[in-house]
Structure 1
Amino acid sequence: NISNPKAWFDLEHNDGNSALYEVEMTSSQQTLVERQYDCLYDPIYSVTSARDHMRARLKVAAILKSFQRQPIFRNMFSDVRSHKAYDLIKIPDRYIPYSQGLEWKGLSQYNTFTEEVQCNKHLSVDGSRRSRYFETSTRPFNPYLSNEYMMAVAALRPASYELEEPFVNRSVQTMYRDSEAQTDPYSPPYTVKVGDVPEVLSLSTLTYGHGLPAGQKEVEMIERARERRKLEANLLDNSQLAGAKLLAYRKKMLDDAETQEWVRREKEIEELQAIRLQVLAQLLRTREENHQTMVRKRLDRLWKCREQQKQKKLQKIHFEYAQAIHKLLVDLELKRKPKKRDKISEYANPGSQAFAPLTRVGVFHDRGSERFVVRSHYLNTYSGLLQLESGIPESMLQQQTHVKPPSKFTRDGFLKRPYRWQAQLEALQKHLLATKHQEKLPPKPLRYLERIEKPLPRPPTPTVADYNEKAEQREIAVLELQRILRGRAVQTMMCESRMKRKDLIDELRSTHALLNDDRAEKRRQMILIRTNQTRFATLMHEEHMVHEVLTRMEAATLGEMLDFLSKELDRLIVERRLHAFAMLAKRERRMREAEESGRRQKEECRRRQEDEYFRQIVKVHQDTVDSYFRDIAEATMDSTADFHARNEYNAIGSRWVEEQRLSDKQRTAEEEASDLVYNFLIPEVCRRAYREKVKREERKYLHAAHRQIFGEAQDGELGESIRAYTHEREIYDRREVAIETEETSERPLEELQREGEEQDSEKYMW
């Protein structure tokens, strides 16, 4: 108990920290300042129950953050995004050291509630304790409480102690709207007074969604029911009329009501037929619109497809045309462009006209060349050549060319781009080589996986092919034959090349002869060779002209033939395409005819059904009218016959009464007694005798049926009760017959006639 309104408390916790608490006591509120871990560390911290303790722990857990910073040593002072100075790691769920228990300290106070701990010796296997008998128990919802704590609390809790209230209010948030969750309207119970028939109870057949809320049809039905009840009340209230007037009045009212009902029914049928015709017209109109829409869409789709194909073909034709024109222009430019003389290639080739010009050109370089022949000892003898060579300086024989090395830098002092790229490539090559030769670090071992060493596979069993001497000899022979063929091919190639260059070799021999004695012979050979060359060139020119003429003629013939074939191919392609279009059109026409025939059959079937429906309806109407007229005729005939019979009966009765009165005055007492006996007593005795006879005949069959049905029960109590009931029934029937006979004999004739008329009238009304 705190007496002063304001006090200060200095508490020291288990962790060595102390805190100063201020408690203010007022009449309206109480303020208590505490730390977030007081529920775990404070020895004097107290709560009302384990639920409040759990709420405080969850509040502490909600205050803590889920992540914390973990610095990286290498990038501790880095501000670059690519080299972060720290990482975010998740804080483990266990935010309290394991040395500190999480249990509620008020658990030990449960012993104060009861003097003796009641242990549940006989535990039930089903219900809330069922999960304890499984191998793996269900985890509790609260992850901070252990299973030992939950079991200890359940074992120590007394039977009479309840921590929770018997009823708990909960609110549920649904994902449906109120209109979707709306049920049928509530109908409260009701009581009806005796003799009171409310009009609302006549609508008990109508329910919500089936007649309620009431529409125009329901209102009309209620009005018709009111009129019908009003008509029935009028039929019962007209009690002042009697006889023929009452019958005529009731008949007229019934006829009017029936006529109105038939008129209403005919009007309803006409309205239904009109609505049905409108629906059919709307369906036909909708079907026709859908059909036209589908046809229009299909035509549009086909038109778009054809347009796309046309555009693609036109683009392809334009592209091919432009490509062909470009090729022709390039070929024409190449033909018109004059070729420059390549002097280097001419002088590099010893067989070119620079060294040996053709005689047909009119150039003879060796004409008068003997005048320029140098006769020198140094040139004609080998010793002279050696002496001449020894006199030539070494700089002339071995010429040295000094080439200035290219500079790697520009005028501004920057490294040129190719050399910069080369330096980068060299650095990359060195890095790759260093990485390749660098020792690979062993991978880190896995924490939770254990490597299973697989046994080394057995080496395959070596096999040695069988030695085949014939195959080896055949292979050696093939290799030898290939070597001979290759040598012969090289020899043949050399011979062909020598024969091909024979004229040039002879010309060189003739033009470069050194001996004076053979000059004349060489000259004759040179003239002969040049003559042969001229003749060969003339023949080649003629053959070339003939070949050109033949080629031109063949080209013209082949061009015409290819043009004709291409046109035929185009015609065949167009013909095939037209044939395909015709086949598609026929197929489409057949499909449309099939659809139209199916639609026509359905319409004919529907028309037959409609005709049959109409025929049946007309037949029902005709039968109803016939039966109505037949009933009217029968009722009219019955009423007319009854009316005439009643009139005749009344006349005969009145006349018979007068005659009877006159005869009674003239007859004696003995005649009246004999007449009564003959007319009443004897017929009644005959009727009773006949009834007894019929009952006796039926009784034996009834007894046989009873014996067959009941069996042994007939001799017991059930049989005795049946016999007693039969006997009592016979006595009752006899008594009723006797009473009826006495009443009939005592009642006057006028009362009997009046009762018969009332029975006949009631029978007619029903």
Structure 2
Amino acid sequence: MSDIKDLLKPRHKYFKRPIIPVLQSVPPEIVMQIPEEKIMSAKERIEEPKAKTVEIQTVYRESEAQTDPFTPEYVIEKENAPEVLTIAHLKYGKGLPASMAEMELIEQMREKRAFDNALPPTSDEACFTLRRKLMEEQEFREWNKREEDIKRIQNERLNLLQSALVEREKETEEKHAQRTEEIRLKKTENKERALAKIQRKRIKVLRKMYKARKNVEIKGKKRDIIEDYANFGSTVYAPITRDGLSLDKKANKYEVQPEALSTYQGLQELNRTLPNRVFENRVSVDKVKFQFKKNLTRKEIAHMAALKKAQATIDVAIEQQEVKDQKDDKDSILKNVKVRPPTPKYTEFTRVDNKEQHELNDRKQRAIILLQRLLRGRAKQNMMFEGKEKRLDLIAELRATEEWKAASDLEEEKVLIENYQERVLDGAAEALQADIISKTLDHLSKELVRFKQERRIASMVRLAEDVRRRREAEESGRRQAEQILRQREDVLYKELMSVHQGSVDSYLQNIITNTIDNTSSLQAYEEAKLKVQTLNNFIDKVEERRNKPEVLIKDLVSSFLIPDVQRKKLQRQLQFEEKKFLEAARKTIQSSVANAGQKLESENVLTYDPRHAN
């Protein structure tokens, strides 16, 4: 027993384990390492083929190239006027070969020649009036036709421009999408490389930690009794069960439970007997609070002071940044207030070729300049009036000087006053005159510069308008020629495609017809064969079922005997109905005959009288 007790005494030591920062059941080089073959780049590498097809441009002339055809010289007879000469201006590449547009133009020329030939002569006034009216109507029709052609050409240009813009937008979007995809692939590749690098570094660090963990030496820590008793959360005040037996584990055995306090009535009785001062708390929590101070070393004290200083510096910087942010917010709010700019005015400069119109514009311009001068002069007058109002004290002083002059009797005083007055007047006049002259000259110089700039800008605008109109005319002609060429190419392409499409359709039609015939005949043969097999079996079964004696007798009875019985039954029913009506008619006739006989007998009895008979 003593040996067992000796063994049980240090038993609590076997329940402790060393505390290590990280514990892993398996080494990290087995679990956490990622195989290198799984780390793949986001951008796949495409192997180039060994053979490539490259387009080249030859220096040989194509056989389909067409040169301008040669037109020989010709001689026209006096009486003949061939129609072909009316389209002599058409050349190869400029109207030839003829398209629908050229055909419509030839038809219009024919109609115009027919109309000119059909016009009445100018022999008399009526014919001249009719000729003029017809020519005006023809001119209006030509103008309407020309306007329709212009609108059609403009619409075609707008459609081409719109399609070109759409294609440009599509190309831009495709380029942007391609650029975005390239950037995404590049970023993904960089991310994969960075993750692989981090993973390799992580594995390296974990291996070092694993090797260092193997060499960890478990060093015991000496117990600090003063620290344990100063800390109310230590094992002295709250022992751990795994460290050994706790003294407060069986405290409930020693707890006193009076029977008087086990019921509610007993608690109420205790509450009534206790004085009120027992329920009042007179303990101050602030006095009870205290903190154990630990003796710090000189190095720890310096470290704590540096921390407090750094925290104070950070707090001051944060407050300054908040104040600055608030100020910046106010400034940004004031800066973001948008003021409506002055409405720009557009001055349209037109080229004036008429001399009278030019003179009229000059007179208007001079009148405008005169009106501006009058307005500026009025503004100067108002400025002078404001200056006079501001210098009323000086004027009053000058007036007082005049009064002194009138009141003074001495010549010297009069002379001094006059000199002083002249100097004051001269100084004031010179000051005002210099100010007004300087401002006027400055304004006139600015107006002269502005007028020169306006004239220069107007000439530049006119020149730019001329250049723009010339370029627009050239561009419209070039676009019209390109449009005609494109239309001709479209017609040729459509005709070529229609021929190819017709040949392909005929070839496919023959193939499809033959295939359909073969397939339909084969399918009909298969269906007929299947139908014959199915119907033969069904018909044989039906015939076998109907050839039985019971079925034959049943059919004979249902087809011959039963209809005969039903027919006889119907005849009997008809005879009974007819007999019933005949019997009723017979009884009615007999009753009517009997009544008639009785009436006759009664009449005979009334007419016979024995008295008359005697």
For Structure 1 versus Structure 2, the TM-score category normalised by the shorter chain is: under 0.3
Return the structure number with greater relative CO, CA threshold 8 A, min gap 6. 2
Structure-2-length-normalised TM-score:
0.25
Question: Considering only CA atoms, is the larger Rg found in Structure 1 or Structure 2?
Answer: 1
Q: Give the structure with the larger helix fraction.
A: 2
Structure-1-length-normalised TM-score:
0.20
